[in-house]
Every structure is written in structure tokens, then in C-alpha cells.
Amino acid sequence: MFRLEALRPQQDDRLAFLKGFLRGPRDVGSVIPSSRFLERRMVRMAGVHDADSVVELGPGTGGTTRAILSAMPATSTLLAVELDPVFADFVRGFDDKRLIVHQGSAENLRELIATHRLKPPKAILSGIPFSTMPPDVGTRVIEAIRDVLAPGGCFVAYQFRGAVADRARPILGEPEVAVELVNVPPMRCFRWRK
């Protein structure tokens, strides 16, 4: 069950997120973290509550990370892959033995799963801004997701724009789409099942 206090971003999270945006706006994609409503929707859509292995791409300051950890089973593992070293260090500060934080590119997902000896993830959640990354990088990330996702697993991404769907459609097919209006800005949530 969700613990609301774990889902709400702290003031320090918001400031760290804004600083991250100012450091690299193309890599962060927003000036404020996701709302708890968006975080909850992502966790539900991905089926985190019964996933034994979960991957989060682009945890930022960890709002969605907290929501995932609150919802996933005690025996599950969460691999958080963050490109920004400051954000990666921020999330490393979370006290949860189920969490593995890797600073690097989501393009290397296959190698990371193997290195950490993780089961194929049943849920992959992404907040990385596909609209600002080079198209070939986005395609490689989607291919890596396809290759590691467990049969029956879900890939869920939230985006303001539809670039993730444009990159993923030829590889993963047509997504299911939901809109979370209680977020600034409102976000589209895309889901693919393997």
C-alpha cells in the first residue's frame, strides 16, 4: 500500500530538481518534479505491486523511485538508471536495500541487468525526455528495453510530447495512452506490454 509521506517530494527535492534542470535542460525536460498523482498512475500502470524486478530510467530526485519502493514487494529489486551524476548521488541517499542506483545511460540496460544479476524486469518505468535526445539514442534505449523486459512485463513512460511513442512504435507496437491532468504540465502516460 502507498505511504503518502513517501510519495510527496520534499522541498530539497524540488530545489535539487530545479538545479538539475538548469544544469542540463535537455536531459531533465521539466523544471519541477512529477506530481504524486502522476507517480501513482505510473506505478499502477506498470504493475509494480507484483513485480519482482523493476527498472526506473531517469529517477531524477526520486519521487517516482519512492512511489515504486512503497508499492513493490519486500523481496523485489529496483534498478534506477540515472544519467545525471548529481541526481544519481541524490537517489543513492535513499535507505532501501532493494535499490540499486547506476549512473550512466539507459542504452546499456542489457549490460546492467547482467552485471547486477537481475531477473528480467517485469516493470520498466521511464521519465527520460525522449523528445530532447538524439533519435538514434532513443531507438537504442527502446531496443534495450525490448530485449530485457520479461514476457508479460510492462514498459511505462510519461512524456509531455509523444517522442517516446514515435521511437517505440516500430519496435514495441502501438501503446495504450492515459493522461494525468493533475501534474504541471499535464502528462501523457504510455504503456506497452511484452
Mean pLDDT for 25-54 is 81
191: its cell numbers: 504503456
pLDDT in tens, 130-179: 999 999 999 999 999 999 999 999 999 999 889 999 999 999 999 999 99
Contact (CB, 8 A) for 80 and 67: no
Domain containing 187: what range? Answer: 4-193
The H-assigned helical ranges of the chain are 4-7, 11-23, 25-28, 36-46, 63-71, 85-92, 109-115, 135-148, 163-172
| Domains contained in the chain, number | 1
pLDDT-derived band at 13 (thresholds 50, 70, 90) equals: low
pLDDT at 74 over 80: yes
Q: Is the pLDDT of residue 18 over 90?
A: no
Give the whole-number percent of the chain exceeding pLDDT 90. 79
Residue 58 contacts residue 30 (beta carbons within 8 Å): no
Lowest-confidence segment of 21-25, 90-94, 179-183 by average pLDDT = 21-25
- Residue 7: is its pLDDT beyond 90? no
- The pTM (predicted TM-score) of the whole model is 0.85
DSSP 35: P
C-alpha cell at position 152: 508479460
Q: Can you tell me whether residue 15 is helix, strand or coil?
A: helix
* Confidence at residue 12, expressed as pLDDT on a 0 to 100 scale: 53
Q: What is the pLDDT of residues 80-108, one digit of tens each?
A: 999 999 999 999 999 999 999 999 999 99
Q: Can you give the CATH number for the domain in which 55 is found?
A: 3.40.50.150
Reported as a pLDDT band with limits 50, 70 and 90, residue 34 is confident
pLDDT band (50, 70, 90) for residue 32: low
Q: Which is it for strands 154-159 and 187-193: parallel, antiparallel or unpaired?
A: antiparallel
Q: What's the pLDDT score for residue 2? A: 38
pLDDT of residue 185: 86
Average pLDDT, the chain: 87
Name the band, by pLDDT with cuts 50, 70 and 90, for residue 28: very low
* Model pLDDT for residues 62-73, shown as the tens digit of each residue: 999 999 999 999
